[in-house]
Amino acid sequence: MSGSQIFARSIGPSVEGLGIPACANFDLAAEPVRKNTTLLIGGTHGDEPATVLLLESFLQSPAWAALDASAVIVLPLANPDGYKRGTRYNARGVDLNRNCGFNWSAASEEPPGTAPWSEPESRALRDFILARRPAKIVSLHWALAELDADGPQSTALAQAMWAALDEPARRPYRLRVTELGRGQRRLQQTYAICPGSLGQWCGYGLTYPDGSAPAMTTLELPYDPHAASRPDELAAEHLAELRTLWQRDSAGYLRAVEPGVHAMLTAACLF
C-alpha cells in the first residue's frame, strides 16, 4: 500500500444520480476490511464548501503521501446534490445530518426526512460504514469552531487530534468530549443532542459485530480563523460573518485553517 496513491470509487448514488466519491490509499475493491481504518467525511451539508476543499487538498498533501502504514478512506463530498445547489440539504430538502437512525426525530428543527435512513445518501454512507467498519471516523463541518468527541470511546482520538495543534492553532477552537459523571454508571453528555446526526449514531448507536464501537469526532471549522479565542457562546450572526469572509477571500480562509486541519487529520489517521 502506498499513501501516494489514490484509489477512487463511488459508494452509491445521490437522489439525482450523482456518485458519492470515496478515495482511499488502498484498493477498496480488492482488499478486505482493514484494521484501524480511518474514515474522513466532508460535504454532508452542501453549503459548507470548505469541508470539501480541505479534504481534497489533504488528498494532494505531503501528509497523505506519508500515510503508507495507515488505512485511510476519504469521502470528500457526501451530499453532491446539495453541493451543486449550494444548499445545506439534499435534492429532496432533507438535512442528511438529521436523517440517521439514532435518536431520529420527526420534530427536528432541521428537516429530518420521512423516516430514519430515508435518503439514498444516508443509506449509502451507513452501508459503507457497516461494510468497512472504520475504527475512527472524523466528520468535517462548518463552522462552530470546535472538536467534538461523541461517546467515551472517542475521547482519546479527540485528544490526540487536539495535541497535534500548537497553541496558536488551537485558539479559534475548543475541545468537547463526552464523560462519565463521577459515581454514575449512565453516560452524561456534555452538550445538546443533535437528533439523527451521524455523530450521534456512530458515537452512541453503532456497535460492530465484534462488539467494538468506532471513535467518532466532529471537526467544526472555525468561523474566524484569526480569532484570539473561541467564545463560550457564538454570536447569532457568526455564520453570516463567515459567509461574508468566504465570499471576500475564500483562498485566505483556506490558507489560514489548512495547516491545523491537516495536522488534526494526520493525527487521527496515525492514532
In a domain, 1, yes or no: no
Which amino acid is residue 88, in one-letter code?
R
In a domain, 203, yes or no: yes
- Residue 212: CATH number of its domain: 3.40.630.10
Residues spanned by the domain of 110: 7-270
In a domain, 167, yes or no: yes
| pTM exceeds 0.85, yes or no | yes
What is the 8-class DSSP label of residue 179?
E
Per-residue model confidence as pLDDT tens digits over 187-218: 445 445 789 999 999 999 999 999 999 999 99
pLDDT value at residue 5: 84
First CA to last CA distance, the chain: 18
Provide the grid cell at 169.
492553532
pLDDT per residue, tens digit, the chain (271 aa), is 444 589 999 999 999 999 999 999 999 988 888 899 999 999 999 999 999 999 999 999 999 999 988 999 999 999 999 999 999 999 999 999 999 999 999 999 999 999 999 999 999 999 999 999 999 999 999 999 999 999 999 999 999 999 999 999 999 999 998 765 554 444 445 445 789 999 999 999 999 999 999 999 999 999 999 989 999 888 888 888 899 999 999 999 999 999 999 999 999 999 9
In a domain, 197, yes or no: yes
Q: Give the pairing type, strands 146-150 and 215-221.
A: antiparallel
Mean pLDDT of the chain: 92
In a domain, 207, yes or no: yes
Per-residue model confidence as pLDDT tens digits over 224-255: 999 899 998 888 888 888 999 999 999 999 99
User: What is the domain count for the chain?
Assistant: 1
In a domain, 2, yes or no: no
The number of residues in the chain equals 271
Distance CA 25, CA 59 (A): 9
Helix (H) or strand (E) holding 176: strand 175-176
Q: Which residue has the cell 472555525?
A: 222
In a domain, 153, yes or no: yes
Cβ atoms < 10 Å from Cβ of 218? 28
Distance CA 173, CA 157 (A): 16
Residue 147 β-bridge partners: 175, 219
**Shortest CA distance to 4 belongs to which of 61, 75, 74?**
61
Kindly give, in sequence order, each residue whose CB lies less than 8 Å from that of residue 231, ignoring residues fewer than 6 positions away: none
